[in-house]
């Protein structure tokens, strides 16, 4: 069928429904039974009413408050280790840092590690769905923490992804295969801490894909088989680095990696990937701090997890975004393997930010209880893998859907937030209430009108800045209390 024919059918159907709604009696029943089928006519005033629903009375005041204090921190007052006054960072209304059975708080291990960033590099793993993919949100947290506690670099860089990153530019050869705990799962069950693993192939069989003709018809076209002598990755960074690291594992046979300066063609590193261990961190020296790099892999593919660009000391944030994921797939990474990886890379905080993708499917108490059990197990899984570190849960944000010509929150979004908060505290995790920060249910439309978010809850650049500013202030408020109450001595 031609595209214009499909369009004509849609337009005609819409016109018929509008006409029926206009002439249907206002006070009459809005349901007409035709045989065994039920047709519901939307009244004209409702059909043509595109106003949004804002049930939260205080959402406008919340918006005004967030605007007034976005980036409203006195930077001179928060220089590293200079927090002596509780008024610098006040306790956040959206943040819970529960006290544990031993008298410490959920974030004490992370705060203790922050005091060692003069002499070591600590890592933070930020897990989430499309809300954070491509280094969104994570990059802003990284900048704010590195400004205070030292460090630089972009952290974890996957070999390929479904979205373009905002912190660097990447081009990979087509023979890379991406496996995740969510889609195209690895038969070997080995993933990097972020739930991905990559392998390269030297031949790709013939396949087919959809295409559109000039007349608008969908047809299948053949993609010919291809062969490759190497697997390559090009990176364009915003600044130069003197070193990089590659995470890899399970090299059944030796493979080779050469790293070139793309601008000059100079060979920077030539290493062999031959360790049979399941997780390896190999240093790659990069002379002259190049910003354009070409990585060339040859030989049988080991498990390739990704690259990192880090300083020797400070704090680093790794972005582990998986589009469309609810988070439960991360439990496919064995607890022992995850724990060993975290120890090797010195990960001291995990941030888990999921919930948006389950919101449309939670419609009753049974499905809510199922989600509660999933997140209970997920938080337990990471707590067990991080006995000497901390876990922070960022709760679900407000998400709207179209209802009869208007927009409103999914009816169970508040309950999802409630169970996330409950099981986070049960498992000794800190919790940031993103839904409450936005103003509660039906607040996303106010954010949409401000240009801070889309109706499906994805934040704009400005929205992300506001969210990150509040998260940073909340964590630093707790860190300030940690210092003042004498949990550890200041340097």
Q: How far is CA 12 from CA 5, 16, 403, in A?
A: 11, 6, 22
Average pLDDT of the residues in 7-28: 56
Q: Say which residue, 8 or 260, is predicted with more confidence.
A: 260
β-bridge pairing 400-403 and 406-409:
antiparallel
Last residue of a domain, one of 281, 310, 339: 310
> pTM value?
0.82
- Which pLDDT tens digit goes with each residue over 31-87? 444 444 444 444 444 444 444 444 555 687 777 777 766 654 444 444 444 444 555
Which among 325, 307, 332 has a CA at the least distance from the CA of 247? Answer: 307
Residue 230, burial from CB neighbour count under 10 angstroms (0-12, 13-18, 19+): middle
pLDDT band of 487, cuts 50, 70, 90: low
- Which pLDDT tens digit goes with each residue over 75-133? 444 444 444 455 556 788 999 999 999 999 999 999 999 999 999 999 999 999 999 99
**Shared domain check, 92 and 192:** no
Altogether, the residues listed in the chain come to a count of: 491
**Shared domain check, 289 and 187:** yes
Distance CA 252, CA 247 (A): 16
Whether residue 186 is predicted with pLDDT greater than 50 in this model: the reply is: yes
DSSP lists the bridge partners of residue 285 as 243
**Shared domain check, 172 and 113:** no
pLDDT of 22: 54
Place of tokens 């590293």: 80
Q: What is the CATH number of the domain that holds 203?
A: 2.60.120.260
**Shared domain check, 229 and 281:** yes
CB 342 within 8 A of CB 127: no
- Phi, psi (rounded to 5 degrees) for 129: -105, -145
Average pLDDT of the residues in 152-169: 93
pLDDT of 488: 46
Last residue of a domain, one of 278, 310, 342: 310
**Shared domain check, 218 and 98:** no
Q: At what angle do helices 335-345 and 365-385 cross, to 10 degrees?
A: 50
**Shared domain check, 83 and 194:** no
Domain count of the fold of the chain: 3
Q: How far is CA 330 from CA 105, 164, 327, 382, 432, in A?
A: 25, 22, 6, 9, 21
Residue 273: partners with Cβ closer than 8 Å, 6 or more residues away: 246, 248, 251, 254, 255, 256, 257, 280, 282, 299, 302
Whether residue 490 is predicted with pLDDT greater than 70 in this model: the reply is: no
Q: Say which residue, 331 or 189, is predicted with more confidence.
A: 331
**Shared domain check, 130 and 97:** yes
**Shared domain check, 430 and 289:** no
CB 159 within 8 A of CB 178: yes
**Shared domain check, 196 and 64:** no
β-bridge pairing 430-432 and 390-394:
parallel
**Shared domain check, 184 and 93:** no
Last residue of a domain, one of 277, 293, 310: 310
pLDDT of 3: 57
Percent of the chain with pLDDT over 70: 80
Residue 12, burial from CB neighbour count under 10 angstroms (0-12, 13-18, 19+): exposed
Distance CA 333, CA 381 (A): 9
**Shared domain check, 470 and 373:** yes
CB 130 within 8 A of CB 458: yes
**Shared domain check, 299 and 215:** yes
Percent of the chain with pLDDT over 90: 67
What is the domain range of residue 13? 3-47
Q: What is the CATH number of the domain that holds 471?
A: 3.40.50.1110
Q: How far is CA 277 from CA 179, 250, 337, in A?
A: 19, 6, 11
β-bridge pairing 314-321 and 168-172:
unpaired
pLDDT of 33: 41
């Amino acid at each position: 069928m031609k595209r214009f024919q499909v369009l004509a059918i849609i337009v005609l159907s819409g016109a018929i429904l509008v006409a029926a709604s206009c002439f249907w009696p206002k006070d009459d029943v809005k349901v007409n039974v035709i045989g065994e089928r039920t047709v519901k006519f939307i009244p004209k005033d409702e059909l043509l009413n595109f106003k949004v629903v804002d049930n939260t009375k205080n959402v406008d005041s919340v918006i005004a408050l967030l605007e007034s204090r976005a980036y409203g921190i006195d930077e001179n007052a928060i220089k590293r280790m200079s927090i002596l006054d509780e008024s610098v960072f006040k306790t956040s209304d959206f943040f819970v840092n529960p006290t544990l059975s031993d008298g410490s708080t959920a974030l004490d291990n992370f705060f203790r590690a922050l005091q060692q960033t003069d002499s070591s590099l600590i890592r933070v793993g930020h897990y989430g769905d499309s809300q954070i993919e491509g280094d969104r949100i994570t990059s802003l947290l990284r900048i704010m923490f590195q400004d205070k506690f030292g460090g630089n670099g972009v952290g974890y860089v996957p070999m390929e992804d479904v979205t373009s990153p905002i912190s660097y530019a990447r081009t990979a050869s087509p023979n890379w295969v991406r496996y995740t705990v969510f889609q195209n799962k690895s038969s070997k069950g080995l993933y990097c801490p972020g739930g991905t693993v990559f392998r390269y192939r030297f031949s790709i069989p013939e396949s087919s894909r959809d295409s559109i003709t000039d007349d608008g018809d969908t047809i299948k076209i053949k993609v010919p088989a291809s062969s490759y002598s190497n697997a390559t990755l090009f990176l364009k960074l915003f600044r130069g680095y003197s070193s990089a690291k590659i995470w890899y594992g399970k090299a059944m046979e030796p493979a080779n990696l050469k790293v070139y300066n793309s601008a000059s063609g100079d060979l920077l590193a030539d290493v062999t990937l031959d360790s049979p261990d399941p997780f390896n961190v190999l240093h790659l020296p990069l002379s002259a701090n190049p910003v354009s790099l070409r990585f060339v892999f040859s030989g049988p593919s080991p498990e390739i997890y990704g690259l990192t660009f880090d300083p020797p000391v400070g704090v680093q944030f790794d972005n582990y975004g998986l589009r469309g994921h609810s988070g439960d797939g991360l439990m496919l990474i064995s607890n022992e393997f995850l724990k060993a990886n975290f120890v090797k890379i010195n990960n001291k905080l995990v941030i888990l930010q999921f919930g948006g993708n389950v919101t449309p499917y939670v419609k009753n108490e049974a499905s809510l209880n199922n989600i509660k059990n999933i997140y209970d197990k997920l938080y337990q899984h990471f707590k067990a893998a991080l006995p000497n570190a901390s876990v922070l849960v960022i709760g679900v944000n407000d998400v709207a859907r179209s209802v009869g010509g208007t927009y409103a929150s999914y009816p169970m979004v508040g309950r999802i937030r409630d169970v996330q908060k409950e099981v986070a505290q049960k498992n000794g995790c800190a919790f940031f209430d993103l839904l409450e920060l936005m103003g509660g249910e039906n607040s996303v439309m106010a954010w949409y009108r401000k240009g801070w978010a889309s109706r499906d809850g994805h934040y704009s650049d400005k929205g992300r800045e506001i969210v990150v500013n509040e998260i940073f202030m909340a964590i630093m408020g707790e860190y300030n209390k940690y210092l003042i109450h004498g949990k550890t001595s200041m340097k």
